[in-house]
Amino acid sequence: MTLPLGVILAGGLASRMGGGDKGLLNLGNGYVLDHVLYRLRPQVGKIALNANGCPKRFSMFDLPIIPDSMSGYLGPLAGVLAGLDWAAEKGAEQIITVAADTPFFADDLTHALSEACQIQKMPIALAATQGTAGRVFRHPTFGLWPVSLRHDLRAALELGMRKVIVWAEKHGTAEAMFATDLFDPFFNINTPEDLKKAEAML
């Protein structure tokens, strides 16, 4: 089985952290991105980092840096499109996206997303967790995306589409459920307080 390519979404503005790159925050003996890469590398083929601005700040990771395919900080969908365009150049059929500020995501993410697509017979899969009162929380930056939808996504962005789940549901979206009984694998670092929590979680 050919593994999908991996795309780390790091194109946001990190406004709640006061700006900068959340993936470059120190966590344990490295950066937040080191922990993301540690979990992602065994699950995918090649990896690219979706980030805007000067790419040299990520030179220590030795990764291809792909900026948003469309200007204006259009949100995660623009990063997904950048990843799909990059994967198309590599001849890949699918990508897995993860967020650069979420260092503890599941080590079976790719398997679970792929299985959800196959069982539920949908082209897209998003990670999900169970909330209170039976509510399901989907995590739109953790998904499996077919390269064949990149032209549709570009057209949607040009027409003003910004919401990942809204666009995904247009095409059919499976849910891959992940347990949160020990900890939330999709805990992400948005604030200085979150960074302290992440240090404790290590």
Average pLDDT of the segment spanning 145-167: 97
Straight-line distance from the first to the last Cα atom of the chain, in angstroms, rounded to the nearest whole number: 32
Please tell me the predicted confidence (pLDDT) of residue 2: 87
For residue 69, give every residue at least 6 positions away whose Cβ sits within 8 Å of its Cβ, in sequence order, or none: 78, 81, 82, 85, 154
Name residue 130's beta-bridge partners. 136
Number of domains in the chain: 1
Domain span holding position 48: 5-201
Domain CATH for 59: 3.90.550.10
**161: closest CA among 88, 94, 95, 81?**
81
Q: What is the pLDDT of residues 75-116, one digit of tens each?
A: 999 999 999 999 999 999 999 999 999 999 999 999 999 999
Please tell me the predicted confidence (pLDDT) of residue 12: 60
Q: What is the pLDDT of residues 175-194, one digit of tens each?
A: 999 999 888 999 999 999 99
Look up the pTM and report it. Answer: 0.94
Residue 16, pLDDT above cutoff 50: no
Find out whether 22 and 31 touch, Cβ atoms under 8 Å: no
